[in-house]
Structure 1
Amino acid sequence: MATLIQQIINGLSLGSVYALIAVGYSLVYSILLFSNFAHGGFLVIGGYICYGTLRTFGTGIWMSGALALAGAGLAAVLTERLAYRPIRERTNVTLYLLIASMGMSIVIENIFVIVAGGRFRALPPVIPTAPVNLMGMATTSAFDLLSLVSAVVFLGALQLFLSKTRWGLAIRAAAYDLRTAGLMGVNVNLLISIVFFVAGALAAVGGIFLSVRYTLYPQLGAITIKAFVAAVIGGLGSLPGAVVGSLILGLAEMLTAGFISSQMRDLVVFSMLVVTLLVKPTGLFGKSVSEKV
């Protein structure tokens, strides 16, 4: 029983980090109807900014984390303006945006390979990883609990932003119909920039926690493919779906690793993707959408 509780907590912790990343995928998809595969690059940018400020300037985790969120968010906005906006202004075919996002993912990854090198780096021990005893029922890591709580805080703040602010209302309206929202007076370009900034900042939070859980290296963004799988399982474009799909995926990974074999984690993850696409292609909470014309 203790092992089961421990694996469930570990799975919720990992799933919560996936949720931060998957929500970014779903936010962009809900507005522009394309999957932004450069999203993993923003995760890497956040991780390296946090690492660099901690190592170079000796700032605390709070300041380094804030700079990482701001830097990754601005990088996402810049990527949208330089790579995606010119395409949006010329055509409504979202396939071109998808192809451009793949190219930007490779560009960002190789920039860090050239500038920072390909070696693995460990963040300074600024996030506690000591074991925590849960009333004698199980033992887990302080890092797992902290990542779970942090994800809840950030996702809660996002929900408040979307439900209580004017721009949150505009984002929800644009998710139904971007063109109509523009006709009603919404500054579409600014709204899209806000969406990309929020998505990039959330990816940076995930990048910091994944850098501690594993290590930091230029290809760390590849792990976002699992967050994308979680978004597909939950339903692309649905923020609650992204969260639920991520928690399901995190639990499936950790329970598989704990009770079957760690080598089967990826097999289980991508088998769930295939089953979802076969049984319910729109995901648990997704809706059928057509290509924007």
Structure 2
Amino acid sequence: MIEFIEYSILGLLSGGVMALIALSFVLVYKGTGVVNFAVGEVMMLGAYLYYACAVTFELPPVVAFVIAMGVISLFAIVVERSVLRPLSGQPGVSVMMATIGMAAIIHGGVEAIWGGDTYSPPSLLPRTPLFIGDILIPGTVLGNFAIAAVLITAFLLFFRYSRTGVALRATASDPVTAATLGININFASRLTWMLAGSVGTVAGVLISSSAGLSPALAAAALGVFAAIILGGMDSVLGAIVASLMIGLVESLAAGYLGGKARDIVPYVVVLLILIVRPYGIFGTRTIERL
């Protein structure tokens, strides 16, 4: 019973960071309708920028973290303005291929500059473990979840109560009507990409500071697609709930069935759920009339 509780707690805590990556994806899809396959590479790039500022330039970790987020935000503005906006109105597959190309460029650039070695960025959080009776919770896992929970809560409040958040929701729901109401949809698109990049950077820094930094970090986003599809590609709440579910299932599968089952069992669960709800747990059901 102790093992089950420990595996469950660790799975839910790791699911919190997974939710950040899923949130980065859903923000872009919900706000612009673009399936962004460069989520993992942007997350990886942000983590490398944090490492460069904190280790190469010997800046305090907090300062390095802020700089990395700022640079990624600027990068998102450049990409949105120079690559994605000119493709506005083109077939979705064209924009999707553009994000795949962007991912390849980022990945190649990172490997050209830093190589394929594994680095150890400084941690933003204390590593002191927490003991709850006989249950051990690593300090980094708990701290990562705390940051993810605070950031996700802030985003939910931002979209629910702030004027800018409401404008972003209106633009995502119906850009034509939003434009007629005076909302700057170009600014909304740009801000969406900035927020998504910033969230991805946070996730990348948290993961790399606890598990190491290498170009393989980008692959961490691939597992999140299961949570995105399960929760519903256009649902922020769905991405959060599904990420916690996937984290829980992964942890229990690894604990009881071995490490390889960690990569298989979650997708089996997702497949079974999607058979019943093909649009995801919280996704918008599309009705087509013929």
Q: TM-score, normalised by structure 2?
A: 0.94
Which of 204, 215, 232 pairs up with 1:235?
232
Q: Residue 27 of structure 2: SS of its match in structure 1?
A: helix
Greater Cα offset, 280-289 or 16-25: 280-289
- Counting only pairs closer than 5 Å after superposition, residues 106-125 of structure 1 correspond to structure 2 as 106-125=104-123
- Counting only pairs closer than 5 Å after superposition, residues 208-287 of structure 1 correspond to structure 2 as 208-287=205-284
Task: Tell me which residue corresponds to 1:21.
Answer: 21
Greater Cα offset, 223-232 or 107-116: 223-232
1:202 matched to 2:194? The reply is no
Structure 1 residue 290, shift from structure 2 partner: 8.4
CA contact (8 A) 1:109 1:219 kept: no
Greater Cα offset, 51-60 or 249-258: 51-60
Task: Tell me which residue corresponds to 1:101.
Answer: 99
Matched AA of 2:246 = L
Identity fraction in percent = 32
Matched AA of 1:145 = L
Structure 1 residue 156, shift from structure 2 partner: 1.1
Distance 2:70 2:13 in 1: 24
What are the superposed Cα offsets for residues 201-247 of structure 1, whole Å, 9 maximum, x if unpaired? 01011101110232211231121112222111101110000000100
Distance 2:195 2:105 in 1: 21
- Counting only pairs closer than 5 Å after superposition, residues 132-171 of structure 1 correspond to structure 2 as 132-134=130-132, 136-171=133-168
Gaps of 5+ in 1: none
Structure 1 residue 127, shift from structure 2 partner: 3.1
Q: Residue 278 of structure 2: SS of its match in structure 1?
A: coil
Structure 1 residue 277, shift from structure 2 partner: 3.6
CA contact (8 A) 1:110 1:218 kept: no
CA contact (8 A) 1:53 1:59 kept: yes
How large is the Cα RMSD of the aligned pairs?
A: 1.7
Distance 2:40 2:81 in 1: 18
Structure 1 residue 54, shift from structure 2 partner: 1.0
Gaps of 5+ in 2: none
CA contact (8 A) 1:31 1:174 kept: yes
Aligned residue-pair number = 288
Which of 186, 203, 211 pairs up with 1:189?
186
Q: TM-score, normalised by structure 1?
A: 0.93
Distance 1:273 1:38 in 2: 22
